[in-house]
Each structure stands twice: as C-alpha cells, then as structure tokens.
Amino acid sequence: MKKMTLHLRIWRQKDANSPGKLVSYTLNDVTPEMSFLEMLDVLNEHLIAKGEEPVEFDNDCREGICGMCSLVINGIPHGPEHATATCQLHMRHFKDGDTITIEPFRAKPFPVVKDLVVDRSAFDRILAAGGYISVNAGSAPDANTIPIPKEIADEAMDAAACIGCGACVAACPNASASLFVSAKISQLALLPQGQPERKRRALRMIEQMDKEGFGDCSNHAECEAVCPKEISIVHIARMRREYMRAMFC
C-alpha cells in the first residue's frame, strides 16, 4: 500500500486557561484510504507509544451527521472538500510531503476546551430560546390533518438538515452564527405548525445569539461555502425578514 509522509502543524492547548501554540509533527505512514480523523488516530497512537499526550479532538458518528467533529484544516473549517465534514474527508485529497495546519474552530463564543476541542454549548442555549414548537406529548392531532405542500416541506427539510457543527461561525470573519440560527428560524417559519410562536421565536433566538457574543452577518457568505450540509444563505435573508416582521408587523 502506498505510504505518504505528512508534516502536521497542530494547535496544542492544555485547557481553556492555558496559552496554546502550533506544534509540528511528521507522520510517515499515512495511506490514501484513511479518513482525516483516522490519520489523527494514527498520530495519537505514535504519541502514546512515545509516552506523549495525544491530541484531543471531538468526533463521534464519523458519518458526517452528528456534527461533533470540527477542525480548521489549512485555514478552512472541515477542510478542502466541498460539502464534506472533517470525518468524511479522506487522505487521498492530500499529497505526499504536504504540510497541513490543523486548528480548532476559532470564535469567542466557542472557547477552547483542550487542543482542538471547543465548547459549542452556546448553540444549545440559542435553540433553547424558542427554537422549538410548543407541543406536549399526547396532544398532537392526526399527522395528516394539516397538508403541507411538498415544496414547502422540502424547503423546510433543506434548512432542517443543519448538523449544528459550527463551521459557519468558524468561517465567518465576524464569527456570526446567522446561518445556524436562520436555519432553525426558517424551518419553523415555513411550516404551519410553527406559526403561533413565529414572531416570539425570531426575536428571542436573535436576542440570545447576540447575548452569546456572536457577530453580525455582513454577507460574506463564507458560511455557505464551508457548510457540510450546503445550507443556503437564503435562510439568513428569511431570518432578517422574520425579524423585521416580528418587530414592526
């Protein structure tokens, strides 16, 4: 099997209160079939064998759906492949001898926990500020009572596909969470079930987003470019309309 040598520059940081720095490592036994995270597994096995501390990075499903993996790879959240989360990126997209810089998602509301792991609980707090439809178990009407045109359901699904990884924030020069927040506001504003709380939801979620310290959107569209689920900035436009509507209508 073909082996590649890679030069890695990886952000190491002991904990939230310690300073961090880029540390260089060379890896000689990378194969093109490996996933990016498996390449880091191999690095960690080498580090452990030498008695050094492995690099911590968040990951779980390794199928591109849980949203737990992150990483800024050569300056791009989730790396160079379009519409691909880090866990589904494979080493065949890199060349023998490449230098790869790996950093955590960087944004003030995402403090570093350790090495490449960041705290994204701000996202949970934003969704807890109205990112839901108030319905208790047991009180729902029959599912086919409200017909929803297929086009509307499909558009709501496009927005609902968000995996909450936070790449949009990491890519934004303002560290704005607009793509993430708008995806939820948009999904629920499109559906008839979301109407009763529509205004309140938009106001509260946006207020919470600001409170968490995320920046404003200034239409760079970097978020859309890195989104592993190709969430469109059309939703940000809809979020703005929802906000105006809630303020003035």
200: contact with another protein by CB under 8 A:
no
The answer to whether 244 contacts another protein (rule: CB under 8 A) is: no
In Å, what is the CA distance from 62 to each residue of 70, 90, 117, 147, 228? 11, 12, 16, 36, 13
35 near another protein, rule: CB under 8 A = yes
Q: How far is the CB of 239 from another protein (least distance, A)?
A: 16
Smallest separation, CB 218 to another protein (Å): 27
Rounded Cα–Cα distance for residues 66 and 237 (Å)? 26
Residue 247 makes contact with another protein by CB under 8 A: no
Residues 6+ apart with CB under 8 A from 114: 13, 14, 15, 16, 56
Q: Give, as ranges, the residues between 165 and 184 that touch another protein (CB under 8 A).
A: none
* Under 8 Å between Cβ of 77 and 171: yes
Q: Within 102-141, which residues bind another protein (CB under 8 A)?
A: 113-114, 117, 119-121, 123-124, 127-141
CB of 163 to another protein, least distance (A): 8
How many chain residues are in contact with another protein, going by CB under 8 A? 80
Choose which of 157, 196, 210, 230 interacts with another protein (CB under 8 A).
157
Q: Which stretch binds another protein (CB under 8 A): 98-106, 148-156, 174-182, 240-248?
A: 148-156
Nearer CB in complex with another protein: 139/219: 139
Q: Sheet holding 72-73: strands in order across?
A: 21-30, 4-12, 99-103, 72-73, 76-77
- Stretch binding another protein (CB under 8 A), from 19-27, 45-53, 97-105, 235-243: 45-53
Structure-token match 């498996």, residue found = 38
In order of 39, 61, 163, the CA distances from 167 in angstroms are: 21, 17, 10
Nearest to 91 by CA among 1, 223, 226, 222: 1
> Which residues have a Cβ under 8 Å from the Cβ of 12 and sit 6 or more positions away?
20, 21, 22, 23, 55, 115
Residue 78 CB, shortest distance to another protein, in Å, is 13
Nearest to 55 by CA among 75, 27, 76, 77: 27
- Residue 96 interacting with another protein (CB under 8 A): no
| Among 19-27, 173-181, 188-196, 241-249, the segment contacting another protein (CB under 8 A) | 188-196
Query: Which of 72, 156, 169, 179 touches another protein by CB under 8 A?
Result: 156
